[in-house]
Amino acid sequence: MGSFGGSKLTWNHPLPDSNKRAAWVSLIVFLEMNGLCWGPDPPDVSDSEAIMISIAAHELTEAEVAGRLQSKLANRN
């Protein structure tokens, strides 16, 4: 579900500016509300940025985004 929301916010450009940042924040909030976090916590900025740019450029499908998320998720302690 997090990959769906993050992808749609990035692809559909609902805001005049900062769509990738809004999608990133919504993804992190969604994960935290569901007891998860992006590993490592705090996230590596370069890795996070690369994933969001790949999503925005349509280089990743929703399934690929979900797979990338699965590899980064950790339970919040």
pLDDT digits (tens, 9 = 90+) for 23-41: 888 888 888 888 888 777 6
Q: Which two tokens stand for residue 6?
A: 């993050």
Under a CB-based contact definition with an 8 Å cutoff, are residues 7 and 26 in contact? no
Cis bond before residue 43 (omega within 30° of 0): no
More confident residue, 65 or 12: 65
Going along the chain from its start, the domains and CATH numbers come out as 2-75 (1.20.120.1870)
Instruction: Say how many Å lie between the first and final Cα of the chain, rounded.
Output: 21
Report pTM.
Answer: 0.66
CA distance 56 to 2: 15
Q: Is the dihedral of CA 66, 33, 42, 23 positive or negative?
A: positive
In this prediction, residue 6 carries a pLDDT of: 59
Residue type, 65: V
Residue 15: pLDDT band (50, 70, 90) is: low
